Amino acid sequence: MTKEIKIEARAVQVFYGSTHAIKDVDVDIEDKTVTAFIGPSGCGKSTFLRCLNRMNDTIDVARVEGSIKLDSEDIYDPKVDPVQLRAKVGMVFQKPNPFPKSIYDNVAYGPRIHGLSRNKAELDQIVEKALRGAALWDEVKDRLDTPGTGLSGGQQQRLCIARAVATEPEVLLMDEPCSALDPIATGQVEDLIDELKANYSVVIVTHSMQQAARVSQRTAFFHLGNLVEFGDTGQIFTNPKDPRTESYITGRIG
């Protein structure tokens, strides 16, 4: 393990009202690595992902305990503004959700509200770089002022990724980014994730074990709110230590 730890989660508990959704989870997420969270539906992997940029704050009944540190700073410290945190920890959602604005405005929105550009030319550069980074530039460069909602599903999801990387985050969270996409679009997004790990720490929640095996270096298996096993992807899929992990990856539970 030569890579430095980007996010360090210790004894994380999440409650939705009276439901104990996440039980005592410890995870270390490394920089410039793709970490996959796998597990059956309702096991808490998305919930845990949403703790990492405090998206759970928007749900009134959700309560988070334990400590999550980003670059050894506690993100649940009362002094932390979640808005600043989310600029550092970007997120891509399950369903492509571009703003009903032009492609350009979609990508430029984050840089605009964070004041990342001084003038139009700089903003143009940021937009182009983000769209290139999301492997979408060649497809949309001639129609940047057309609505983002007019793109195909795969293009929309890559637009959302471009929107997320435009604010230059350090961590990129992806909540089942390919579940609404066809196999070709999934392949494009997976290739993209592979490229993104050169610059970002990527955390991806996925239902597809093949996808986890294809794109990730580290894999965490969640079951009923517990982190069952966490290790190198190769080891999890070929030589799981826990019998529950083995049952899941061989298709007996889930």
Closer residue to other proteins (CB): 3 or 143 = 143
Q: How far is the CB of 220 from other proteins (least distance, A)?
A: 21
CA distances 102 to 50, 55, 107, 113, 162, Å, are 27, 25, 9, 16, 13
Q: How far is the CB of 165 from other proteins (least distance, A)?
A: 10
Q: How far is the CB of 92 from other proteins (least distance, A)?
A: 8
Q: How far is the CB of 143 from other proteins (least distance, A)?
A: 17
Positions that interact with other proteins (CB under 8 A): 53, 55, 58, 60, 83-84, 86-87, 90-93, 95, 97-100, 109-110, 113-114, 147, 149, 160, 163-164, 166-167
Q: How far is the CB of 210 from other proteins (least distance, A)?
A: 26
Separation between Cα atoms, residue 164 and residue 166, nearest integer Å: 6
Closer residue to other proteins (CB): 167 or 201 = 167
131: its two tokens: 């769209």
Closer residue to other proteins (CB): 2 or 18 = 18
* CB-facing half-sphere around the CA of 127: CA atoms within 13 A: 19
Cα-based angle 84, 88, 137 (whole degrees, multiple of 5): 125
Alpha carbon 6 to chain centroid, angstroms: 14
Closer residue to other proteins (CB): 23 or 114 = 114
Under a CB-based contact definition with an 8 Å cutoff, are residues 11 and 48 in contact?
no
Closer residue to other proteins (CB): 17 or 42 = 17
Q: What are the strands of the beta sheet with 5-16, ordered from one edge?
A: 19-30, 5-16, 62-70, 73-74
